[in-house]
Each structure stands twice: as structure tokens, then as C-alpha cells.
Structure 1
């Protein structure tokens, strides 16, 4: 199964998420992926508290990111998230971090079991 719907979440780049050149530190994107995933699950009607109450968890076992262009301090970026694949024992989410002008800053994926 593959979901074509993207859920977008706005994130304003905070100073703490950047390096000395005010460019977003690569580790910040991992946090934004989680923000996007949480919002996706909420929009799909299956928020994390419900998952946990039902004994379900989606543990990250693999993560990848491709950095295309920098996001900078003060930018308002959009984290677009979709469910790329669902299997009997896991799922995969895809992410795009979009700059204010709509260009892709980062593309990524997380695999869960």
C-alpha cells in the first residue's frame, strides 16, 4: 500500500537549529521528520497516544536524507510527509522539507517496524 497524500507542517527555523553560518544543522532535519510524522498520523486519525494505547509502536530502524539546498535561520519551511509503504511488520514514511520559495531543501525517508 502506498499513500499519495502529503501532509504539510510549517516549521520556523530557530537559531538553536542552525550552525555558526545560520544554516540548519543536519540533525535538525531528523527532529522535523518526527514532527511531520506525528502530524501525519494525527491527520490520518491515528495519533501517537492512540497507537500507544493499542500497544502499537513504530520504531525507526533506518533513516536517510538527501540534502539539496540549505534552509536558514528565520526561514519558514514546510515539512511534507506521506506514508510511502505499509507492510505486515512495518511502514515507510517519505519527507520533503520545502523552502519558502517551494524548492526542496531535503528529501528523506524513515523505515519503521
Structure 2
């Protein structure tokens, strides 16, 4: 199983009054990890969209274990735990680099749909993309 790693440094604007990263930022980081994961399969979200494949979010979860703070250097580990012709499940682990402590973990579920937002079977319609994603599992 392939695990992508995305490095992020917490910006001041991402913290709240308590000096801890606001919870909403984790989903932004998950998206960056997911984008990097797909790029590492030699395609991009833009490539997929140009070919008529959209990936709307169907479900998300995040467990906050410990807060990140301003200037913390983080690693977002991203991997696919489930791939079917109609959906994909991405998993994430947010690691604070200095002590290698997992501070958060989560997942997102995405459907494969066409531009009319109808579920599509990408194994049938875009077998090359399905195979690229499958090789990373």
C-alpha cells in the first residue's frame, strides 16, 4: 500500500484564540494530502475533471488527538483503504514532525460521478484511471 506524505507548516491564521489550530483546517490539509496522493499516480484532479470525472465528498470524519500550534511542522500521511469502481475511501494521519506524534486521523469517502452528478463506474468508463489508483493500493 502506497502512503503519500505532504508537509505543512502551521500558519498563524490557522490558529484560534487558544493558540491551537482550528478544527476546520484539518479538512483543508486532508484535501491537500488527497491532491498530492492523486498527483503521485501521474494524474491530477484537473486531469480527472477534464475527462468528466468528479469526486464529491459523501462522508468525512476526523478524530482530534492533540492540538497543533503555530509553526508546528506536520506531515499529512494519505492512503487509500478502499477502492471500488464507484467510490474511493482516503485515510489520513496527521503527524507532528518533531516528536512523530499522531495528533489527528480521519477519512473521507468520495463517489465517482459524471458532470451531471450521476454515479459512474470508472472501471468501465475510464479503466486507465481506475488502474492508476489501483496500483497505489
TM over 0.5: yes
Kindly indicate which of the two structures has a greater share of residues assigned to strand: 1
Count of matched residue positions in the alignment of Structure 1 and Structure 2:
110
In the TM superposition, 1:27-66 aligns within 5 A as: 27-66=24-63
Gaps of 5+ in 2: 112-137
The RMSD of aligned alpha carbons is 0.8
Instruction: Specify the alignment match of 1:102 in structure 2.
Output: 100
Any idea what the Cα deviations from partners look like across 1:23-44, whole Å, max 9, x if unmatched?
Answer: 1110000000000000000011
Instruction: Report the Cα distance in structure 2 between the residues aligned to 1:107 and 1:50, rounded to whole angstroms.
Output: 28
Where 1:16 maps in the other structure, the secondary structure is helix
Greater than 2 Å deviation, 4+ residue runs: none
Q: Which protein has the larger Cα radius of gyration, Structure 1 or Structure 2? A: 2
Query: Comparing both structures, which one devotes a greater share of its residues to helix?
Result: 2
The residue number in structure 1 matching 2:110 is 112
Residues 33-68 of structure 1: per-residue CA shift (max 9 Å, x gap): 000000000011121111011111111110001111
Q: What's 2:79 paired with? A: 82
Deviation at 1:83, TM superposition (A): 1.2
User: Runs of 5+ in structure 1 lacking a partner?
Assistant: none
> Which structure would you say has the larger RCO, counting Cα contacts within 8 Å and 6 or more residues apart?
1
